[in-house]
Structure formats: structure tokens, C-alpha cells
Structure 1
Amino acid sequence: MKEFPDAPLIRYRTVANTEVLVCNSLNSHKELLQTKCYSFRKPDWWLHTVGEMTGRGILSMEGEEHHAARRSLAGAFSLGNVRKLEPVVRTKAKDIGLVFDRAIAANKSGKCGIIDCTDTFSKLTLDIIGVSMLGIDLANITSTTFGGHGNDSGEKNRMTDGETEDYTFHHAYNENREFLFATNWISSTLIQIIRSRRRQVAEAMSAGKYVRSESCDVPTYLIEESMPGGLAEGITEKDFVGHLLQLMAAGHETSANVLSWGLYIMANRQDIQSKLRDEITALVAQVPEPTYTEIDRLQYLDHFIKESLRVFSSATTLHRKSIEDLTIEGIPIPKGALFDIAPSMTLLNPLIWGNDADEIKPSRWEHLTEEQSSPYAFEAFSNGPRICLGRLFAYMELKIILFEIIRNYRFLSVVKPFTVENPSLTLRPRGLEVRFEKVA
């Protein structure tokens, strides 16, 4: 992209000399994501890979089936329903302070602590997803066994600088078996939750005590819509589980990544962190416990989140395969052509964002050019008919969590070098540890 910033498409070759086209211009992104969206589908390798982990759900569906699935799920992620979840996010955002405080207490000096950002925020966002998606409090954050520092419990990174450490076929076989057991266990657990929730709804309706407007978690909402005349009427249990698995996977990991990169930025850019805290402190001076409506009005916080998403887009690449002959930007494309849609191609394009496109600069959002204002210049949540269903919830989650931790903690430095997971479906830092202290 830096070499050919004005090219509509860029070609490269991958495994077995397979040709892949990468969208590079705003118009090519618009055609693939919006105007000709359903002329493409996910490639077979993607469906196979993701299907092993999450089954078949809305992210795997295409055409009218995908359109119908979105209609059935849209209400669960409407602004009204998202606002019902504000107390959940606020409670969990305050709970994360327990982890930060334990990390400080674990330090002999008692003045500062260290957290592994990805590990910490993955547990936090999974807790939030547990309540919002399943109606169940997983209580990862409040568990006393979680101190916020270190890699995932029980996880061993056996790869060091590309070399294996005593890794054998036996290890691989056992881990593959554990993976299969885990995926089957999750699916079975979700089926139990769905069936239990169906019974609860049916019993409450029979007793005349069911209030539909009070539901906010996804299973309950889908159960309501699966009733005769509902948007999800006829949904199979398999698709129900697939939707939940894919929404959970997409929802908690991406938010955790954004929060991790946010702390990375603040630890390296004290000027940005100070501006954020000044804005938050000014609001707290007027309203000690502001609502999300008030937090949402914090302009610099909003710009910081958007700039974090722009430079460190959690979604790395969307993969598509053409299902018919067509043209993109006037270029003939045959049926079966493979495409990569990398949000960073427009998010970091110097012709769109300037020569400082790689720099973190929240102030750039104060005055956007016409090109920068294009929805295809900012694709952190994708675009078109497949735009992220949970983007409104994600913004609320990110703003409330960052509000709470910035008002209470100061991030001092990144402790040591870290890596980015590869291969990975998201831009996920590994081993990103940040040193912090309590704000006086």
C-alpha cells in the first residue's frame, strides 16, 4: 500500500502460488463491502477453519440466509437494548480495579503494579460477554486467583524466536484432543443454557408473568424472536449455538485487543494520557458518577478510541471469493477470484490520512477531510450489509472501561518487548505488560 497508495487493487501470491487481490482504494472497498457484497462469499478454507472453532453462525452465512440472520439478531444490538446493558458494563469496569489493586499490592513497594494487558482485558470482556450474551456472570475478574499479571493460566508458549522447545507429536496430539473436548464442552453448555432459558420463558408466559421488554441478553431475545411470527421463527438449535459462539468470539477478543493497544499508547504517550485524564477529571468534578450519556460526550476520549482503532485495527483481514464474473473499479474479475479486505489499507493510507498516517494523533478527528469522512476510510467495524452488529455495544464498553481506569490509574511504561500473535484473525498483542500506579 505504501508503494502503490493510489492503486485500486494490489495483487500478491500466497500458498501454492495462489493469486489474491487486495482492495486498496475507497471505491474498491465500497464495491466489495456494499454495492456488490453478495457477489462474494467466504472462501472454503476460512469456513473450515472458523467452523472448527465456532460452528456455523451469522459470520459464516451468505446471501439471503445471512440477511435473515441479521434481521433476527439486530434488535438485540439496537441502541435501546444496548443501553439496558449499561449497568453490566459499569459494574465490570469497576471490578477491573480489583485486579489493578491486587497487582499493586503484590509489588513489595506497594506503589505500582504490572498487568498483562491482553490476559487482563480478555477476562474482563469475557465477563461482560457472559452477562450480555448469555445472561450468566462468569466472574473471571472477581476471582481471587486472577492477579492480572502473566500469561493465560496453564498456557505455555512453546515457540521462542521461531524454535520449538521440546515440542513433540505427543504434545500436539494432546493439545488437539483438548481443543476438541473444549469446543464440544462449550457447545454442550450453550445448548443447556438455551434449553433452560426456553423453559423459563415458557413457564413465565404460561403464568402470565413474562415481560418481554425486560429481556436484554441474546439467548432470551432470540428465543422471543423464534416464537411464531418472530424474525427467528424456525431457527435450529445448531444455528442458535453457532450465532452465540461466533458473537462471543468476535465480541470479547476484539474489545480486549483495543483496550490493550489503548494502554500501550498511553504508556508511551504521556501527553495523550494527560489530556484524557484532564477531560475525565473535569467531568467527574461536575458529576461524580456520570452516566454513559455523559461519558459519550467526552470528545477527546471519543477521538482517542477512534484513533486507536484506526492505527491498531483489531480486524486484520476479511477474506472473500467471487461467486460470479464481475468488475471492480472497472477491472474484470472472474468467478472464483480471491480477495483480501484489510482495513489497514485505507486506515493507514497516506493519500487519505496524510504523511503522518502511522502516528497516533487523536486531534486529527476534529477536522476530517471529505475522504477521511468516508465510511470506507474507517473500517474498524467493517461496512455494508456485514458491518459489525455489536459496534454500538463495543463503543459503550470501551468508553466506560477506559473512563474508569484512566480516572483511577496512571500508566507509566511498557515493561518489556512483546510480540503480535501470528497467525491470528485479529491484531492481538502477546506479552504486552504495562506498569502503572494509582492516581492520587
Structure 2
Amino acid sequence: MVVLKKRALLLAAVALSFSVKSLDPEYLLHGSIWQTTTAIFFSMLAVRFSWSCLLYPLCLSPLRHLPHPKQTSLLLGQFSRIIKEPTGYPHREWMEEIENDGLIYYRGLFNMERVMVTTPKALSEAVTLKSYDLIKPPTLTKGLARILGYGILLTEGQEHKNQRKNLTPAFSYRHVKDLYPVFWEQSRDMILGIDKDIESKPTTKDESEKQENSSEVNVDGWTSRATLDIIGVATIGKSFGAIEDDQSELYRTYQTLFKQDWQTRMIGLLNFFLPFWFLRALPIPRNVKVEKARVYLSKICFEMLAEKRSKIAAAKEKDKSDETAGGIDILSVAMQSGGFTDGQIVDQLLTFLAAGHETTATAMTWAVYVLGKHSDVQQKLRDELRASSLPDIRDTGAKVTAEQIEQLSYLHAVVNEVLRFYCPIPMTIRIAEKDVVLAGHLIPEGTTVLTPLIAANHNSAMWSEDPKVFNPERWMGPGRANTGGAESNYSNMTFSHGPRGCIGASFAKAEFACLLAAWVLGFETTLVDPDMETDVTGGIIRRIKGGLRVKVVQTKS
């Protein structure tokens, strides 16, 4: 929309310049129509800047009377604080301290208006009742589409409805239940991979001493490699071999894409002011790496599609039913639905490969941090796992079922509490596609609307027990397994809700439970620094800055 307005101003400047040339040429700047056009265009931009950045938001906006934080800069709004602190932290404080009836208003850079949704009723309206009136910012969508494709995460309106309908069978309970053995097998491979890495490190100790002493492990790398292999088996029916080889091209490609450097942050900031085509054309290393990765990932996904199509054709020749031909993985289900073109299927693959593995990997990293930080939680969880029917985690021939994992109440309590407390995606950003009413207030078209996921998860008004304390026990007891004691579903926003809520929520929680169970059965974990206080990265995914290294001692199940 911003780009269109600038183009309209440029066309108006050109028209005015030609009018001056036709009516009174002596008024042309230096006799040049192009200099005149440039002068008029930048004069229009200055007037537009004064209107949109000063006069309208400060004096005329219908939103300016909403509750808002104090100490707002005249021109920068709350931008200075937001850019300095981890994503979602200021919003969490405002939601707690500013009295409001469902909306909080604040201004960002150059007084760009923002509205934050804060109560269960308002959240319900934003993410459920009016979710299709609030769309992702076009500039953000175009940037993410280079990595994710235009899959279910980025499409809008009827296209999104159609995609969700066709993909829902792949994420049904019946289908996810069948994937538990896959989750367990890959989780076991992660443990065995860490074992192998520990054994390969040079040591002067004899074997008995070696078994009694701890080894340092880079948690982020292992969790990311494990979840990438899991999403590979679940999505296309085969592992990518990332656990076995940390130099595999696919794994290294995603590590490059997810790396947050100054160029990534700069492009994210400039996205607000400059057209996407211009930012994409900037001759900086980050753009070169992203473009190279985009070409490689698209090629890989088209190859996966061709391979799967051959398998389905071969399966049908053997008289297998259409429902099971080719396998039960997500790609097979999408192809069997008949609702996607090849290009759309590739977009779904790109979405699930990227978004499907990194968010769970981040949650698992936070979970390992919890194990090191809260030894009582770790011990109680290990006791439950050892008392269960789960096999030895290093038994390569053992299988598990969904029922074996699902009956472990404390495991699921820890999973739910990690996802609540350390919510991997701290907030979502939307733009009002048209005038919309939220919490009884008119939100003008074009206004940015934020859903503060982690702020809701930590909000005292939404939880009966102190939400700022990590406490898995809140998920234990009658009626608490799915609510944590909260009265509203919208108190826990980790996966959001409604038509745009995470379609893979049950998949992610099942995968996470298997990974966490495997880790606790395989290792006793302590922090390298017992007094470690985590610093959090900014950006879309909430990671531990600098990564997480822990000490582990191999244990027997």
C-alpha cells in the first residue's frame, strides 16, 4: 500500500510538471521537466511525511485516545525501547501495567500507529472472528516467501481456507498418532549421535572415569538437526541425515537463513520504508545468500515431489488404495487431496521444512535449559519416565506407541509449561485490510494490529497462579491438563487459535514430547554456568542469544 501511494505521488508529480510545461514553461525548475518533477515529488513526500508522521497520529487519529504507554518520543514513539529489548518484552510490561479494556495503543518509528490486543475477548475477535480481516504485512510476507514459499503460513483469504481444508487430514489425531514411532526413532538417533560425539572427543581419562564425568554439548545444533530429520520423515517419508552429518547441505542452508546478523536486522527495518524489489536488489552478502538458498531449496522440493509422484504411481500399480498409496507423510496426503498444483505443493514443503523444524528446535533448547535450571523438575520427569513402559532409549530395535507417550502426565505438563513460558514465537503482526471493530473500537484500514503471544502467556489477569513463575504443576490435576488452570483458551496463545492458528500444533507437541523424553532418559543435564541468566535474541523466533551449552552425563534408562 505504501509503495502504491508513492507511485501515485510520482505520477501526480509527473502530471503536474507536464501541465506546467504546457501552460507556463518559464516556471519549470531550471527549464527542466525532470528537475521539476523531482522537486514536486519530494515536496509531496515532505507534506505526506508531516501529515502521516506528525499531524495525523498526534492530533487527529481516532486511536490516540486509547490507553497507551507514557514517555513516548515525539517522532520515534516507543521505537527506541522496542529495538533495544527482546521481542515482546515491552508489550508484556504494558499489558500488565496499563489499565485497558482490550486494546493498548502505541506508536513506533516515525509515529507509525500500533494497536495491541490484550484481553481474552479481544484476542478472540482478532484471531478467530475477524482473522481474515487482519492480514500479514505485505512487506513481511514477500520477505518470508523467499524462504517459506506462499504456503499455508503466508496465504490469505479464500486461498488460505482452501489450503487449510486440504492439509487438515495430514495433521488429524489419527495421522499424528501414527507418527509417534517416527518421532521416537529420530529422538533416539539424536541421543546416539550425541553419544558418538562424546566418545569421539579426546580424553586422558580411562573408560570408567569417562562414564562418570560430564561432557559439554551444544544443544542448539543437536535439536535443530533432530527436528529437521523428523520433519523430513514426516513430510516426505525420509530423513535428511542431518543428525548423522552436521555439514549436510540442507542443514547448513537453514542455519544460514536463520542466522540473525546486522544485515538481516537492517533489511527488516528498511522494509517499513522501501519497496521490497529495491531491498531484494541491494548488493549485500545477505541477499546473495538468501537467493542462493531459495534456488537450492526450491530445487530440492521439486525433486522430492517428483520422487514421491513416482512412488505413488508404483504403489497404485500394486493395487494399493488411493488413501495409502505412497505413504502417510504430509506430502502424500497433500498430493492425494488433489487440491494443489505442483507449485503449491512445493510452497507447502518449503513452509513445513523451515517453520516446522526451527520452532520445535527452539522449544526443545529452552526445555534443556529448564532441565539444567530446575533439577527438581528434571528428577521428577526422569522418575516418571523410568516408571513407565517406555523402552531403553538406546535400544535401536524398540518401538513406542502414542498411548505410551500420552499417558505420561508430568511429561506433558513440562511440555505445556515450556511452550507457555518460553513461547518460541513472541508475537504476530497483522494489518487491518479494511476498517474493523475490535473490543468496541474502530480500527482504521491499514493500522498495524499486534497479538502479543508471550505477553498473554505471562499475564497475571489471565492466569489463576503466578504466570511469571515456571511451574509445570499448574498443568497437573483434574481439568488442568489442557488449560493450566486458566479460565480462557486465549490465556495460552503459543499456537494462537482460530482459522489462522497453527495447523501443526498437535504434531509439534507430540514431537516435542518424544524429544524431551528421549533427552531425559539419555542424559542427566546441568548448566555449564549454574547461575546462567539467558539473554534472548530479537526477531521472529525467540532464541537464547549465543546458543546453549550444557554438561551431560550419560545415563541408562
Shared fold, TM over 0.5: yes
Contact 1:131/1:137 (<8 A) preserved: yes
1:104, distance to aligned residue in structure 2 (A): 3.1
Aligned equivalent of 1:220: 332
Aligned equivalent of 2:42: none
What TM-score do you get using the length of structure 1 for normalisation? 0.87
Q: How big is each residue's C-alpha offset from its partner over 1:304-348, in whole Å with a ceiling of 9 and x where there is no partner?
A: 111111110011211111122221111121122210112112100
Pick from 272, 279, 296 the counterpart of residue 384 of structure 2. 279
RMSD (CA atoms): 2.8
Aligned equivalent of 1:322: 432
Instruction: Name the CA shift for 1:154/1:43 in 2 (closer, same or farther; >3 Å).
Output: closer
Aligned equivalent of 1:435: 551
Aligned equivalent of 2:75: none
Aligned equivalent of 2:192: 98
1:410, distance to aligned residue in structure 2 (A): 0.6
- Structure 1 residues 189-198 or 391-400, which shifts more? 189-198
Aligned equivalent of 2:291: 180
- Structure 1 residues 314-323 or 137-146, which shifts more? 137-146
1:138 aligns with 2:252: no
1:248 aligns with 2:364: no
1:6, distance to aligned residue in structure 2 (A): 4.9
1:291 aligns with 2:405: no
> Mapping of 1:400-439 within 5 angstroms?
400-415=514-529, 419-422=535-538, 424-430=539-545, 431-439=547-555
| DSSP 3-state at the match of 2:524 | strand
1:263, distance to aligned residue in structure 2 (A): 0.6
Q: Which runs of 5 or more structure 2 residues have no equivalent in the other structure?
A: 1-94, 249-253, 266-281
1:395 aligns with 2:505: no
Q: Report the count of equivalent residues.
A: 418
| DSSP 3-state at the match of 1:2 | helix
Contact 2:414/2:472 (<8 A) preserved: yes
Q: Distance in 1 between matches of 2:392 and 2:232?
A: 30
Contact 2:128/2:499 (<8 A) preserved: yes
1:125, distance to aligned residue in structure 2 (A): 0.1
Q: How big is each residue's C-alpha offset from its partner over 1:340-397, in whole Å with a ceiling of 9 and x where there is no partner?
A: 1121121000112257321111111236589814211111111001121111111111
Aligned equivalent of 2:82: none
1:181, distance to aligned residue in structure 2 (A): 1.1
Q: Distance in 2 between matches of 1:107 and 1:312?
A: 35
Contact 1:118/1:428 (<8 A) preserved: no
Q: Distance in 1 between matches of 2:341 and 2:256?
A: 35
Instruction: Name the CA shift for 1:208/1:238 in 2 (closer, same or farther; >3 Å).
Output: same
1:172, distance to aligned residue in structure 2 (A): 7.4
Aligned equivalent of 1:238: 343
What TM-score do you get using the length of structure 2 for normalisation? 0.70
1:13 aligns with 2:107: yes
Contact 1:10/1:21 (<8 A) preserved: yes
Q: How big is each residue's C-alpha offset from its partner over 1:386-417, in whole Å with a ceiling of 9 and x where there is no partner?
A: 12111111111111111111112111114466
1:16, distance to aligned residue in structure 2 (A): 2.8
Contact 2:429/2:448 (<8 A) preserved: yes
Pick from 213, 226, 229 the counterpart of residue 124 of structure 1. 226
Choose between structure 1 and 2 for higher RCO, CA contacts under 8 A separated by at least 6 residues.
1
Contact 1:320/1:338 (<8 A) preserved: yes
Contact 2:536/2:542 (<8 A) preserved: yes
**Larger helix share, 1 or 2:** 2
Q: How big is each residue's C-alpha offset from its partner over 1:49-94, in whole Å with a ceiling of 9 and x where there is no partner?
A: 2112222111111122111110100111111111222221111111
Aligned equivalent of 1:229: none
State the one-letter code of the partner of 1:205: K
1:5, distance to aligned residue in structure 2 (A): 6.0
Q: How big is each residue's C-alpha offset from its partner over 1:236-295, in whole Å with a ceiling of 9 and x where there is no partner?
A: 222211111112212101110111000101101101111111111111489996533122
- Percent sequence identity is 27
Instruction: Name the CA shift for 1:287/1:9 in 2 (closer, same or farther; >3 Å).
Output: same
- Structure 1 residues 400-409 or 3-12, which shifts more? 3-12
